[in-house]
Amino acid sequence: MGVMVQEQTGLFHLQSTDMSYLIQIVDGYPVHVYWGSRLKHRESMPDLLIHTPAGAGLDRLPQEYPQYGSGDFRNPAYQVELEDGTRITELKYDGYRISKGKPPLPGLPAVYAEDESEADTLELILKDAYSGLQVVLLYTIFADRNAIVRSARLSNEGKGGLRIRRALSASVDITGKQEMEMVYLSGAWAREGNITRRPLLQGETRIDSKRGISSHQFNPFAALVAKETTEYHGEAFGFSLVYSGSFEAGAEVDSFGSTRFGIGINSFDFAWLLSPGESFQTPEAVMVYSGQGLGDMSRTYHRLYRTRLCRGKYRDEERPILVNNWEATYFNFNADKLVAIAEEGAKLGIELFVLDDGWFGKRDADNSSLGDWYEDRRKLPGGLADVAERINRLGLKFGLWFEPEMISPDSELYRKHPDWCLHVPERRRTEARWQLVLDYTRQEVRDYIYDSLSAIFSSVPVAYVKWDMNRGLTEIGSADLPPERQAETAHRYVLGLYELLERITADFPHILFESCSSGGGRFDPGMLHYMPQTWTSDNTDAVERLKIQYGTSLVYPVSAIGAHVSAVPNHQVGRMTPLDFRGDVAMSGNFGYELDLTKFTEEEKETVKHQVAFYKQIRGLVQKGDLYRLKSPFEGNESAWMFVSEDKGEALVFCFQVMAVPNPPRRTLRLDGLDPELEYEVQSGHRGEKSIIGGDRLMKLGLPLAYEQKDYESRWFRLQALKPGKS
């Protein structure tokens, strides 16, 4: 396994335990040969070799990093402009390198290998003799995962300047597979994570973000699937971009049925000046193959991202159960009110109190004070340290909300530095939520934010930070960049953000950072590299969360999904749902509460106490187990999923019925991921009954399932494998 080379045929075989990816050098061009289930490597594989179609030129060649202008009329992977204004380059193969492990990407988040034995990396070196452009294509293959990580490094080895107009992270031409479909996540604020599936017809199918962030509207992920592919069966080819800015991902089907898929930084409004001797590194794309449906693809992403993208203390630690005061108080609170909520939380077993927006500057509404990161002594007479210490004495840790990438026009910071926001001279500054975006391309801006936050972290016992970002980028220009580099601003913003996050998370490793962007507006792998969990959506309605969390799990691990119980009527949709139903939905993620615990009845407090105690028992399995999606909320009135331990000895099933069904038929739920040879003790969380059922029967015949005749019903079942001989 690893990377094998046949020098005489120019064939490169990247092989893992269950997957192969083959590239061939044809007439100097790297050509895609195969990606799919593992092939046995042989000394000679002439049946796989590709030859240039007679008279067709590059337009029929399935390339790995295609160019435009030399006979290929499909979408290119890159484009550069030379000093003379021409845009023609022709990259030809110039050698290769193979190394053990996986090198980091300077200044960019990336998947990593903890030991060099985990992976092998191939570098294909391509050069354009005329301009001096060199492109190195990087491929990392993991030994025991069906994943390949791709990126490209563009270097100027010529004497004149180059301007990059387009630089995708990966491009793959898939041939011989007809009637493919594209699966991706779409939506909007408060309804993120909708699974969209559409057939690929001749022409283009494309998703993107031009917002400067990965966006609520589309996630930087897509999968190409066979028409017959389901959750459990069929081929799926996943593409996930480790990047937090504007992106593009698209499939182009040509007149012969071949599909070219590319993913990377959005080329719209992007350019990068590359002076002689300089290089540009693209973000990386994580490509996952599954021959067993979308579920298997998801679990590959989950394991990889949870253990080889997330980092730090909380990568492997169980996450605390929290209560956040936002929907409880909004901006209207004082120190005593916060402590009162924390006191109730302590009685119920909650472990972390989070103070949300409104604690700084003169922040009585969302129209002021962003950038003024000092406590409001009107609300907190003793300051943050006093509140945090009072909460710590109750046995809870203390967390804090920030929105460090924003600046309010009504703030001391803006009055002092009005040029510190992204802006274009003589143009209006578009406000959203009465705020502008700080110019993170500038070192002095990032230093100010670092100093402001680190001063708090060094004087207040902060154990958790919710890092919010509530709007897209407009007037994307920087007072610190010359005219010829203004089109670099959006990408430089993202690089500046990564530099700050690397610095602050490294200096305060004890803090659990959670990313947020009005909920899921920046839920992407790039942010997970610095913050191991994300506030999935501002919509806390349990019914809507069934779809949001189910869809998000298509690519992201449950350990990354923040999920809270909120008050009813729900603040986003006005729906009334039972506390048990809300709890079961939220327990399928990083669990917490976002409401006023002091307003609970004694009965509700008792329910919460049981929920908290139960989640403490199961959170290791929820956060680290393998997720199996059993019933889709996008397809009917019911939803179900389950978590299975790595050794298949333990499992947990959650089932949900949204609306009551009159005179329902007898129902069973087929489980997945169990060991068919084992017997399982099945405990029903509804009736408290226990029974012993074989893993084979649970997966083939199913688990008997019955709901009460009322709306918004949920059930859970715990499964424990019996030792051989025990029944």
Residues 214 and 220 sit within 8 Å (Cβ to Cβ): yes
Report the alpha-carbon angle 670-294-637, nearest 5. 50
Please state whether 725 falls in left (phi above 0), alpha (psi between -120 and 50) or beta: left
Element (DSSP H or E) covering residue 147? strand 147-156
Alpha helices in 462-516 (DSSP H): 489-507
Radius of gyration of the CA atoms of the chain, in A: 27
Q: How many CB atoms lie within 10 A of CB 634?
A: 14
Instruction: Provide CB contacts within 8 A for 401, sequence distance 6+.
Output: 326, 354, 355, 356, 357, 359, 465, 466, 468
Selecting among 356, 372, 538, 580, the annotated active-site residue is 538
Catalytic, out of 173, 468, 524, 541: 468
**Number of neighbouring beta carbons within 10 Å of residue 364:** 15
**How many helices (H) does the chain have, and how many strands (E)?**
12, 38
Terminal C-alpha separation, the chain: 42
Look at the block and give the residue holding tokens 């600046």.
407
Among this protein's residues, is 538 annotated catalytic?
Answer: yes
Q: CA torsion sign, 525 to 528 to 533 to 538?
A: negative
What is the Cα–Cα distance from 77 to 295, expressed in whole angstroms?
29
Contact partners, residue 694, CB within 8 Å, separation at least 6 = 676, 678, 679, 680
Return the closest-CA partner of residue 269 out of 440, 427, 486, 89.
486
Nearest to 469 by CA among 534, 561, 562: 534
Contact between 105 and 121 (Cβ < 8 Å): no
Q: What is the C-alpha separation between 373 and 382, in angstroms, rounded?
A: 16
d(CA 14, CA 6): 12
Widest CA span in the chain: 81
Could you tell me if 434 and 409 are in contact, meaning their C-beta atoms sit under 8 angstroms apart? yes
Contact 353, 466 (CB under 8 A): no
Which residue is it, tokens 């002091």? 598
Q: Indicate which residues carry an active-site annotation.
A: 468, 538
